[in-house]
Chains A and B, each alone.
Chain A
């Protein structure tokens, strides 16, 4: 079964770049994109994702309406999603955000690199660790 990654990102450019980076990195995973926190919660909650939960979530911190941190908090409150790897993405290295993210149970916190090469490298690392190495969480545990 194809690995699915939920990508929560409101910036279409960033969505495209992420896709580019995944292609360049040659990762066999499908990116399912939602554009804000509400959609992310809906997708994860209603099981609208075909074939069960994603292997991991790439979650932008700064989202309209419901922020990435709120989505993270929600995820950690769902018994079946408690162990879902969530990688937060942000544009800045604001320490307050980082601390709060880890407090809320983020698995990783990544600053979006300014160039495609760095992003590609980053995506490789993420995929290697969170998609291939990490044990896929059991659905409805």
Chain B
């Protein structure tokens, strides 16, 4: 029987101690027969398998361990054996035990010493220790044991039921503690989870806020919040960048402290509107910079009547505003200049008007009275006097022509020439009809290859130009030769053939080239450019009278209408003048026009 045996073994304790034990443990330690261990290796982790609790049995004697084992096995717990205090401490390092059964008398390190060390460790500070000691030990030993934190003593010989009951209590206690611990742990875990969740939520919120805040902080625009009295409550850093005042300085500031005095009425009105919950449209006004200068800020604002707050958005538009003002200023300057120019133009017109009236009047008198002298009363004049008078009359007439041509040139150079559709056939017909008498006198032949088409140009100027060319063709002929003038047109495109010797800019898009060919005296190549100059004449006036303005008028007029002019000519082989003018877009090209 186990109990008996244990009791026997216990009783034999005193008698059969090993020499080793004797020397170390006053004969209390003795060798135990090798015992089957409880499947636990020292140093190996002992788990709380299947809810079993660990019970540490410490005894240097294997037989006693065996006895304890036998007694406690029915508890169904995990029994761990240690054969020395040292081993017990080692096991305690890695495992938790519900209770320790400790033999008091062990060699090397007895139960009290071991207990003292156990108590020193925080992890095992409260692990209950039951000392196993023989009945014969002194009460001193017992006190010593209690002072070391023993919770109980069990005396040998052991009464198995008592031991089991005692150990059972601790097992139960431990279990309950464990249970409470676990509950507490679970509670803690739940709480921790909740806490973590809340923390995460808070963090999320914070992050969103932070991000939103970042907008506020990073915005280049002036963002701010004000109250219904116009005080600024909060502003972002852009304000300082733009206006120089820190956020601190701006807090509580009212519009009158910031806004240009001239713009104050505007802001007061806007604040009032916002207070009434009315929307405010974008407006611009000047705000004072800390340095005293002003910045143009463009504002929008939204009221939040529930909070009595105004949300403000501003943008620095100074640069744009200054540019605008510059432009305005420049425009003003420009207008002034235009006005001045208009004035000059007007004066020029008056001047021309005066020339045409006042300068021509004396010429009229000169030629008129000279003529009066010659006729009727002419008999009174000698041949020489008559010649002088004729010269006076001729000079006056020539001067009048010159004046008229000059006026015409000035008109062509300055007059506005709103383009319209000009039918060239009509123009030529009119020119020819006005020259009927001259044509008849000179027996000139004018050949028009209709249809000539239409150009987009200024009709009176076109007529002037073509008349000048035709007049030239009739004038510059060998004496007594019958003038022969041909007129035709052709359509030229932007990359069409270029006229020789001409580098004038080609009119954009299709143009009509009007040719005026004569059989006259022709012009040497070297003069082809020169003849279009002002007062350029190639012949003495007695041979071919003229003012030297006809072709200058032609060129000026053509250029004013966006066209070009040129010629092909050789001396004694006639001349072919051409004029290019923009084709009238509304009309079809020349060769497709109906008669």
Contacts and interface: CB of A to CB of B under 8 A. Distances in A.
Interface in B352-372: 353, 356-358, 360-365, 367-369, 371-372
Contact of A115 (B361, B368, B407): B368
A124 interface: no
A61 to B, nearest CB: 8
A111 to B, nearest CB: 10
A124 to B, nearest CB: 15
Nearest to B365: A13
A91 B371 contact: no
A17 B397 contact: no
Interface string A101-117: 00000000000111111
Contacts of A92: 353, 356-357, 360, 407
Contacts of B368: 13, 17, 20, 115-116, 119
Interface in A75-120: 90-92, 94-95, 112-117, 119
B71 interface: no
Q: How large is the interface on B (under 10, 10 to 19, 20 to 34, 35 or more residues)?
A: 20 to 34
Contact of A20 (B367, B372, B396, B407): B372
A127 B372 CA distance: 20
B357 A14 contact: no
Contact of B365 (A17, A24, A95, A117): A17
A117 B371 contact: yes
Contacts of A136: none
Given A94-B356, A114-B397, A114-B400, A11 B367 contact: no
B364 A112 contact: yes
B485 interface: no
Contact of B367 (A14, A62, A114): A114
Interface in B327-384: 353, 356-358, 360-365, 367-369, 371-372, 375-376
B104 interface: no
B367 A91 contact: no
Nearest to B399: A114
A91 B372 contact: no
A91 B361 contact: yes
A114 B357 CA distance: 12
Given A114-B396, A115-B371, A62 B357 contact: yes
B243 interface: no
B357 A17 contact: no
Interface in B552-569: none
B356 A11 contact: no
Contacts of A11: 361, 365
Nearest to B394: A115
B393 interface: yes
B552 to A, nearest CB: 19
A91 B360 contact: yes
Contacts of A62: 357
Contacts of B363: 114
A13 B407 CA distance: 23
Given A14-B361, A62-B357, A92-B407, A116 B372 contact: yes
Nearest to A20: B372
Contact of A14 (B365, B372, B393): B365
A90 B368 CA distance: 16
A18 to B, nearest CB: 9
A24 B376 CA distance: 9
A115 B356 CA distance: 15
A13 B353 contact: no
A116 B361 contact: no
A116 B363 CA distance: 11
Contacts of B365: 11, 13-14, 17
Contacts of A94: 353, 356
B462 to A, nearest CB: 15
Given A20-B372, A92-B407, A116 B367 contact: yes
A17 B397 CA distance: 15
Nearest to B376: A24
Interface in A14-37: 14, 16-17, 20, 24
Nearest to A10: B361
A13 B361 contact: yes
Nearest to A90: B357
A20 B376 CA distance: 11
A98 to B, nearest CB: 12
Contacts of A112: 360, 364
Contacts of B376: 24
Interface in B188-221: none
Contacts of A91: 356-358, 360-361, 364
B15 to A, nearest CB: 158
A113 B363 CA distance: 10
A62 B356 CA distance: 11
A119 B369 CA distance: 12
Contacts of A14: 361, 364-365
A119 B368 CA distance: 9
A114 B361 contact: no
Most buried by B among A16, A20, A114: A114
A115 B397 contact: yes
Contacts of B372: 17, 20, 116
Contacts of A116: 367-369, 371-372, 375
User: Top 8 nearest A-B pairs by Cβ distance?
Assistant: A92-B356, A116-B371, A13-B365, A17-B368, A114-B400, A91-B357, A116-B368, A91-B360
16 contacts: A11-B365, A13-B361, A13-B362, A13-B368, A14-B365, A16-B369, A17-B364, A17-B365, A20-B368, A20-B372, A24-B375, A91-B356, A92-B357, A94-B356, A112-B364, A116-B375
Interface of A: 11, 13-14, 16-17, 20, 24, 62, 90-92, 94-95, 112-117, 119
Given A14-B365, A91-B360, 14 more contacts: A11-B361, A13-B361, A17-B372, A62-B357, A91-B356, A94-B356, A112-B360, A114-B396, A114-B397, A115-B393, A115-B397, A116-B369, A117-B371, A119-B368
